[in-house]
């Protein structure tokens, strides 16, 4: 199943045409009072697609190339809300959209997401415990004008959130690089250890461990 939910957007890095978006919250949407209210549990968010570098920033959920305004670069959960940083493209429509975001003309954001099923709560809202966003959209009229729409964060708070997300991303990359380096050193040690052990008359497994430890220093 797929669904939509509202959010907000504020400019971030003007020169790089980046913006900070709050694309979902744990407040239910009411679909203009027509029912079909959904409440997303932030702990159940699967942000893999948004963090893959392949999820688009769209114009009003349109699934066509001409509607692609940019790309979602990174996404995370913070303070009961789902956040992302999107970078706008350089074609005319994207630059026009960026200009309206920068000038605070367009502030409404929505997302498309998939989920398997939800459970009805006492108020009749559908509570969704596991969900996966696959696109974020700028929109003129959001699904709800009230539910899930946050006020614009103060600049200092926004910068702190962005800096924390970027620092966490750098740490993840550094950890992955370190892990790969360790794996490569161990494979190298296992490759040469039989020959070294034969020449020294030592146990191959012990020799591999010694070489691996020595190369890790």
Do 145 and 181 fall within a single domain? no
Q: Report the C-alpha gap between 80 and 95 in whole angstroms.
A: 31
Do 109 and 205 fall within a single domain? no
Task: Tell me if 197 is assigned to some domain.
Answer: yes
pLDDT score, position 101: 85
The pair of structure tokens assigned to 13 is 């890095």
- What secondary structure does DSSP assign to 117-135, as a single string? --EE-TTS-EEESSBEEEE
At 99, give phi and psi (nearest 5°): -60, -40
Give burial (CB, 10 Å; 0-12/13-18/19+) of 22.
buried
The pair of structure tokens assigned to 14 is 């003007």
Q: Residue with structure tokens 């702190």?
A: 160
What is the chain's length?
Answer: 217
pLDDT score, position 94: 95
Domain end among 97, 122, 152: 152
Task: Tell me if 137 is assigned to some domain.
Answer: yes
Do 134 and 62 fall within a single domain? yes
Task: Tell me if 158 is assigned to some domain.
Answer: no
Q: Write the pLDDT tens digit of every residue in 17-54.
A: 888 888 888 766 655 455 567 788 888 999 999 999 99
Question: CB 137: neighbour CB atoms within 10 A?
Answer: 24
Percent of the chain clearing pLDDT 90 (strictly above): 23
Do 17 and 124 fall within a single domain? yes
Q: 11 or 182, which is more confident?
A: 182
Do 119 and 200 fall within a single domain? no
Domain span at 176: 169-216
Task: Tell me if 20 is assigned to some domain.
Answer: yes
pLDDT score, position 161: 64
For the chain, the domain total comes to: 2
């Amino acid at each position: 199943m797929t669904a939509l939910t509202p959010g907000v957007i504020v400019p971030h890095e003007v020169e790089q045409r980046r913006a900070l978006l709050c694309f979902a919250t744990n407040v239910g949407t009411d679909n203009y009072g027509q029912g079909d209210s959904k409440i997303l549990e932030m702990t159940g968010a699967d942000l893999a697609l948004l963090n893959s570098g392949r999820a688009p920033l769209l114009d009003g959920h349109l699934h066509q190339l001409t509607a692609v305004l940019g790309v979602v670069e990174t996404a995370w959960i913070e303070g009961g809300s789902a956040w992302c940083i999107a970078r706008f493209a350089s074609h005319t429509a994207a630059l026009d959209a960026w200009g309206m975001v920068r000038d605070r003309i367009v502030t409404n954001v929505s997302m498309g997401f998939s989920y398997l099923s939800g459970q009805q709560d006492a108020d009749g809202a559908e509570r969704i415990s596991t969900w996966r966003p696959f696109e974020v959209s700028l929109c003129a009229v959001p699904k709800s004008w009230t539910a899930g729409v946050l006020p614009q964060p103060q600049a200092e708070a926004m910068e702190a959130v962005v800096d924390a997300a970027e620092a966490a991303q750098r740490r993840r990359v550094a950890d992955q690089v370190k892990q790969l380096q360790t794996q490569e050193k161990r494979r190298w040690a296992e490759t040469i250890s039989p020959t070294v052990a034969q020449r020294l008359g030592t146990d191959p497994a012990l020799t591999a461990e010694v070489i691996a430890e020595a190369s890790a220093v």
